Structure 1
Amino acid sequence: MEFKVGCVLGYQCSGPATLLLAISPREEEGQRVVEESLQINPELEREHFDDASGNRLIRLHSTGGKVEIGYQARVARTHSPDALRPTLSDDPGQLPPEVLPFLFPSRYCESDRLVGLASQLFGHLPLGYATVEGLCDWIHEHVEYRYGTSDAHTSASDIVLQCVGVCRDFAHLGIAFCRALGIPARFGAGYAYKLEPPDFHAWFEVYLSGKWYPFDATR
């Protein structure tokens, strides 16, 4: 199946600035970028590169003033339902080195502060895929989605207390709960199918039995 995605961005730079754009879909198993185009007004020096996680980034250098950016892409997706739903998480001692950082607490996902709560809420579930499904259900039922209720300083522990947020907060809380239970988890963002109103969307992924699985507590 093919999808058309795109965005229009505008910036007003008060002086020389470097813009780092994460707007290009990843190239990975089950996903291929068929074609894409990028328009920048005024034309700026640009650099395309992949980061260590395989995210495709664009770096622009502006001397200041107004910058308008338009991006469009046609993306082919091959969707295969998760045939295997692991019941046990991987032994941390056997995880690949590049996965280990996704077990650690971070600025927005203070998993060390949520160990007790995560164990209380989800400790009875089979550790693995079922655990993540259970915590997604809990987040969806207990956290209200309301636009404009959080900002760049809001973390997972804040959401536990205020029980309201946006998709980014749902993802941060899911990641924090997973890491608190010893399940590697990472943040994901991109274009969501039929999202209204159109906007970038956030979800999270967990690493089980050698594979990353996507989960979306916002739904």
Structure 2
Amino acid sequence: MPRDTMSRTVGAELEVEVTASTTLEFQIALAEHPGAEVTETLRFTHDGTPVEARELIGEHGTRIHKFAAAAGTVTASYEATVSGLAEPPPVRDIDLSTYLRPSRYAEADKFFGFAATEFGDLADSVALPERVSSWVGTRLHYVPGSSDPIDGAADTLLAGAGVCRDYAHLVIALLRAVNVPARLVSVYAPGCSPMDFHAVAEAYVDGHWRLVDATCLAPRQSMVRIATGRDAADTAFLDNHGGAITLQKMAVTAVVDGELPRDSVSDLVTLR
């Protein structure tokens, strides 16, 4: 199937037990996709009763759905079909400043000397994403449960293991350390195994935002944007403010209509 006619169907089902009244924020709906055709359904319930969530539009078309929840069981159900490709993500001057700065989980300032030694000769080259992706991919082991939610890029490098967000944070920190703007994107990723919400890096290379995924768990060409930010602090699928919750169940789906695209780490891919 030609990529410009690709159809992707994605979704998520979550069940959350609220044990102390709180405010919940979900980032599971697709970001705005100008240029593509999107059909979707999004439903929330509290103890079986439908809940109306307030939609907040964040950076880069990210959509946050927020509501207050008393003790009880909250469910979230989302499904969307995306036909065709969205317009390439815009490049704003402010982004080229914001995404050079160290952040909570991508502490680029800790990597300045190291990254310059490893990648400084490629800082202005289109080969940089491939080099960084391959370097991170060969030094880390993908091990579910091997990292803590508070681990940053430096912790990940020392541990030598992590999950997708850890790979992405290390990629982002290394890129920023050689003066290349980079940010984190949460995506639905057809072909990903194990299937889950996926995190990848997006780097400003050759005048465009390019995807970098050192896990190589899914083809980048079929990924679909959910949220974009400095690091995982900006893109979590669920945030809890003021109370206590337990995530009881979660199932994520992402498929393409037809065969998955072929991907190579050397390809320059734009998320659309």
TM-score by length of 1: 0.86
Name which of structure 1's ranges 50-59 and 66-75 shifts more when overlaid on structure 2. Answer: 50-59
CA distance in 1, matches of 2:38, 2:95: 29
Aligned to 1:34: 38
Q: Provide Cα deviations, 1:178-202, integer angstroms capped at 9, x if missing partner.
A: 1000000000112111222321101
Residue 3 of structure 1, aligned match among 4, 8, 16: 8
CA distance in 1, matches of 2:10, 2:141: 28
Q: Amino acid of the residue matched to residue 125 of structure 1?
A: L
Closer, same or farther: CA 97–40 of 1 in aligned 2, 3 Å? closer
- What's the Cα RMSD here? 2.0
CA distance in 2, matches of 1:33, 1:11: 31
CA distance in 1, matches of 2:114, 2:84: 37
How many pairs align?
A: 205
Flag the structure with more relative contact order, 1 or 2, with Cα contacts below 8 A and sequence separation at least 6: 2
Q: CA deviation at 1:56?
A: 1.6
Q: CA deviation at 1:16?
A: 1.9
Residue 195 of structure 1, aligned match among 173, 192, 197: 192
Identity %: 35
Closer, same or farther: CA 116–58 of 1 in aligned 2, 3 Å? same
Closer, same or farther: CA 51–79 of 1 in aligned 2, 3 Å? closer
CA distance in 2, matches of 1:45, 1:79: 28
Residue 168 of structure 1, aligned match among 161, 165, 168: 165
- Aligned residue for 2:144, secondary structure, equals coil
* Contact preservation (8 Å) 1:140, 1:218: yes
* Contact preservation (8 Å) 1:44, 1:62: no
Residue 115 of structure 2, aligned match among 114, 118, 127: 118
1:77-92 matches, within 5 Å, as 77-78=84-85
Q: Provide Cα deviations, 1:131-176, integer angstroms capped at 9, x if missing partner.
A: 1210111001111111110121111001111111111000000000
5+ long unaligned stretches in structure 2: 1-5, 217-272
